[in-house]
Amino acid sequence: MIKRSQAVITTAEERPRDGWDDPVHGAISWRTLLSGDITPTDSMSAGIAELNPGGELKPHRHDPSEIYFIFEGTGIVRIDGQETTVKAGTTVFIPGDAEHGIRNESTTNLKFFYVFPTGSFADVIYRFPVA
C-alpha cells in the first residue's frame, strides 16, 4: 500500500520552537510547520524562522535549494558572497549548495517563511565552514 500525503492546516503556535545560539551556527530560532517526520506530508518541508535584533544564521550550505519569504522586519541575505538587503515582502531563491546566511542588523525582529523541496526537514544537512 502506498502512503499518501494528507492536507494539513497548522499554525506556528502549535509547533515547538527549535534553534541555535552558538558561534558556529549563529543565533536563530525556528518552528517547523510541515515535515514528513511530524506531519502526514511529503515532497516539501517548511517553517518560520526568527532572528532577534543582532541575530544571524551563519553562512552555510545544504544540497536542497531553498526559498525565503520575509514577512516581518529587515535584514541582510548573503548568497555566494553577495549581500542584499531584504525586507517584508521580499522573496529569495537560494540555489542548492550555494553558501548563504542571513542576519538582522535592525532593532526589530526579522521573521521569514522558508521552504525546502524535500519531504522532511531532517533531510536537510547543514554544512558550516570549519573555523
- In DSSP terms, 46 is beta-bridged to 34, 115
pLDDT tens for 36-69 read 999 999 999 999 999 999 999 999 999 999 999 9
pTM (predicted TM-score): 0.94
d(CA 11, CA 62): 26
Q: Which range of residues forms the domain containing residue 59?
A: 15-123
Residue 23, domain member (yes or no): yes
pLDDT band at residue 4, thresholds of 50, 70 and 90? confident
- Three-class SS state of 25: coil
Residue 4, domain member (yes or no): no
Domain count, the chain: 1
Residue 130, pLDDT score? 80
d(CA 48, CA 36): 16
